[in-house]
Amino acid sequence: MALQPSLRPLIIAGRPDAPHTLDIFLDYVCPFSAKLALTIDTVLKPLLGPGGKYDGKVKAIFRPQVQPWHGTSTFTHEAGLAVARASPESFWSFSLALFIHQGEYYDIPSSTLTPLQIRENLAKLANEVTQSQSVTDEIKDLLSLRSSPNGGVAVTNDLKYTIKFSRQNGIHVSPTVLWDGLIANEISSSWGEKEWTEFLATKVVV
């Protein structure tokens, strides 16, 4: 599937030139997405990464899936995209940390916070991951509102791209997974190593 050059850090597993593609649509504030994210880290990345059985054959792309009924979904995805730009190598680590801490961004815990406070908290989490004040300062700048009254932040265009991509492909829920461009409805957030191993074995000729 297509991916604009500035979003290459969203390739979270496998080689960019791998012939097969898993497009994985996740929302940072979705519990089921968090469950799948942990499986990606422990099961898929080893299978698709260096030395893995499907190294060079399959890549996995994180597709940000903003769910507007989660009030902080836009803010969390902006933060992910800001990290992807400021520290590409930290994108997945930050994403995983955000999934682990997603409860802090649920509706009730975040209900008394302003957008500026939410963005500040996300920048603090990014600092914990990157351990770099200069990177954190860049992320804060990327998440700062532009001079135009309704101009968004520096990564708003990246966010628009990801939302438009989801819409044109008819993605409605998170998580949703595409295999080579087609929705694989059988894939579930409850899948473990057994299910993923069996799925890949039927799809890839090694």
Write the pLDDT tens digit of every residue in 44-95: 999 999 999 999 999 999 999 999 999 999 999 999 999 999 999 999 999 9
**Strand blocks (E) in the chain:** 11-13, 20-26, 58-64, 176-179, 182-183
Q: What is the CA angle 172-78-183, rounded to 5?
A: 25
CA 196 to CA 199: how far, in whole Å?
5
Write the pLDDT tens digit of every residue in 13-51: 999 999 999 999 999 999 999 999 999 999 999 999 999
Sign of CA dihedral 38, 41, 46, 48: positive
pLDDT of residue 205: 82
Quote the radius of gyration of the chain (alpha carbons, Å): 17
Residue 90 structure tokens: 């930290």
CA 50 to CA 154: how far, in whole Å?
34
CA 4 to CA 13: how far, in whole Å?
17
Neighbours of 78 (CB within 10 A): 25
Cβ(73)–Cβ(29) below 8 Å: yes
**Mind listing the domains of the chain with CATH numbers?**
5-203 (3.40.30.10)
pTM of the model: 0.95
Write the pLDDT tens digit of every residue in 147-178: 899 999 999 999 999 999 999 999 999 999 99
* pLDDT band at 206; cut points 50, 70, 90: low
Average pLDDT, the chain: 96
pLDDT of residue 1: 62
